[in-house]
Chains A and B, each alone.
Chain A
Amino acid sequence: MSATFLGMPGNFPKNAAKAVHNSQLRYNLRKATHTIRGKRANVVGELPDWQELRAAGKAIKDHTLRNLDRYLIQLEEAVTRAGGTVHWARDAAEANAIVAGLVKATGETEVVKVKSMATQEIELNQALAEQGITAYETDLAELIVQLGDDFPSHILVPAIHRNRSEIREIFLEKMPKVPPHLTDDPPALAEAARLHLRERFLKSKVAISGANFMVAETGTLVVLESEGNGRMCLTLPETLISVVGIEKLLPSWRDLEVFLQLLPRSSTGERMNPYTSMWTGAVEGQDFHLVLLDNGRTDVLADEVGRQALRCIRCSACLNVCPVYERAGGHAYGSVYPGPIGAILTPQLRGMSSDLDASLPFASSLCGACYEVCPVAIDIPEVLVDLRAKAPHAAAERAGMKVAGWILNDHERLAKAQRAASRLRGLIPKRLPGPMSAWTDTRDMPEIPEESFRDWWERNERA
């Protein structure tokens, strides 16, 4: 992928304004997010102990973060004992250099990849390309994104912004051996991808993955997926390199009983995803390397309010319920982490010195839906408000006004924001934090009515 997120110009309101004019994108997004949302609600409703699982998930993650140093050392020992090698990387450049070095040591110039947000975050593919190593994405959606020279726009379904005829065009143009009469029927497109990647899987000597979880007690890594491309990459090549953020840790083997229930149900809305692979160290004769990645995570950890973002298990449930994401699309966030979680994680990982990053905490109507669905109960609205106060003043004011304007410009968005505001009305401070405080110091905040006029009108019209 030659495109890069970091250099993305503009800011959230500008990007969003462009996106809302793309009606195809809005249609795709709406359909997709609503479908997954419905499936999720069904399978979550099946479990009578969902809130207990959620409380356990939250506490396990908080406990891990509190003792992260101790558990990382324990993990390192367990992985080493099981024949793996552990590497530590302070930042993206260090991680990329370690991986490039490991690949070069095998003498290979091509690697296959399992979908991984951590490697997108550090822009590993570009770094490898500079060293003469080609990285091939193997997840169908990632493949569509890579062949289309494009950015992923959703955590779970990265090519959500593309429809079948666009995908067909991309395949016809970019797949060397594609059948010329390829239709845009999804099974036909999937079959083309299967054939395209099959040979590559069978001959690849090196694979790169991330992981959904790492277990400190046992040294086990866990990858959840649907297609089987993950299993292909994890098991067939001779060398496996996993790049994993240090926050992906769980203390004990037993803790998987919580997260293997929370993640699939929140993410794809299935009781369980089709395939989960677990391995401990070097197995079946493979050479195994684990690269532990910091890249700003310890800075996030140091922030008392913001550190809860590190509990995130990347399920994408918050994207699918977010009224702002649904309209703006994933690209507007200018980061591999889109949607509500991106709005709090990206500015924390990257800082808020750019216009884009300073605008992200404003990319929300604070309706609270993201918090309600989050399987590890991250209070995203709380972190958003905290980050707004911390954003550089001038940029924050500009971004805040622009997002406000953008929300007010569309009657549907406005209705949602008003409804959200009335739900949150007890929580609205009388004095605004940070740059806006001077304004509220001399004025009373207007009371937010219990019900918006719009809702009242609809209710009374219907009655």
Chain B
Amino acid sequence: MSAREEILARIGKAVAGAADVEIPRHYRTAPQVEDLVGLFAERVDDYRAIVHVLPAAEVPAKIDEVVAGRRMIVPEGFDREGGWTDLDTADGVITYCAVGIAETGTIVLDHGPGQGTRAQTLVPDYHLCVVRADQIVGGVPEAVARLDPARPLTWISGPSATSDIELNRVEGVHGPRTLEVIIST
């Protein structure tokens, strides 16, 4: 018997006669959040990321200001000219995202247009992410429902961090040490 057949047979034997289970889903699937942008900004800030909330028209000028002097990767599909291309020597990367989650302060990238490859948002030490207000949902269930599992997904909640040395939080071991978020309203 192949390993596959044998494992499947063992499972069949192990659970024979066991009753099946109903899954109760009485948890909140759409938490009521009055101020999505406000809560999202507060929760992102809790991770010691830098947060700005701005009207859409002021976003380009803000980007100019915060990236000044940095060699920034600008992925395809991001509405901005030029950009550094060498991953190894780049100072940072600027992206859009797919979804923002208010309750957890999480940004999800599905690496679609303007979001770069997975490596582009990982190797440089600085990540600037622009989140549109209409991309922000209340909780995790709404985010899961919006996302496409066929795409690679990266969920980011604050900058890279470790607590492995006496539980002291240290930012940035391998991923970007600085996460800056511009929420465009």
Contact = CB atoms under 8 A, between A and B. Distances in A.
Contacts of B160: 226-228, 274-275
A227 B161 contact: yes
A187 to B, nearest CB: 5
Contact of A276 (B15, B26, B155): B155
B174 A201 contact: yes
A49 B19 CA distance: 27
A69 B11 contact: yes
A229 B4 CA distance: 32
A260 B165 contact: no
Given A56-B24, A280-B149, A194 B13 contact: no
A127 interface: no
Given A32-B167, A141-B164, A283-B152, A301 B15 contact: yes
Contacts of A254: 141, 144-145
A294 B22 contact: no
A260 B150 contact: no
Interface string A169-206: 00000000000000000110110011001100110000
Given A231-B118, A301-B11, A194 B6 contact: no
Contacts of A53: 27
Interface in B103-161: 103-106, 117-119, 122-123, 139-141, 144-145, 149-161
A110 interface: no
Given A52-B24, A278-B152, A280-B150, A257 B141 contact: yes
Contacts, number: 223
Contact of B164 (A144, A275, A298): A144
A232 interface: yes
A260 B144 contact: yes
A373 interface: no
A307 to B, nearest CB: 8
Interface in A250-274: 253-254, 256-258, 260-261, 268, 270-274
Contacts of B123: 202
Contact of B28 (A49, A140, A190): A49
A274 B15 contact: no
A414 interface: no
A69 B9 CA distance: 8
A274 B159 contact: yes
Interface string B64-105: 000000000000000000000000100000000000010111
Contacts of B118: 231, 234-235, 277, 284
Contacts of B18: 66, 304
Interface residues of B, number: 69
Interface in B7-25: 7-8, 10-15, 18-25
B28 A48 contact: yes
A59 interface: yes
Interface of A: 28, 31-32, 35-36, 48-49, 52-53, 55-56, 59-60, 62-63, 65-69, 72-73, 82, 88-90, 94, 138-141, 144, 157, 159, 163-164, 167, 186-187, 189-190, 193-194, 197-198, 201-202, 215, 218, 220, 226-229, 231-232, 234-236, 246, 253-254, 256-258, 260-261, 268, 270-280, 283-284, 292, 294, 298-299, 301-302, 304, 307
28 contacts: A52-B27, A53-B27, A59-B21, A63-B23, A190-B162, A190-B172, A190-B173, A215-B149, A218-B149, A218-B150, A227-B161, A227-B173, A228-B122, A228-B160, A231-B175, A236-B119, A254-B144, A256-B144, A257-B140, A257-B141, A260-B144, A272-B155, A275-B154, A276-B154, A276-B155, A277-B155, A280-B149, A299-B14
- Which 4 residue pairs are nearest across A and B when measured between Cβ atoms? A228-B175, A228-B174, A302-B14, A298-B10
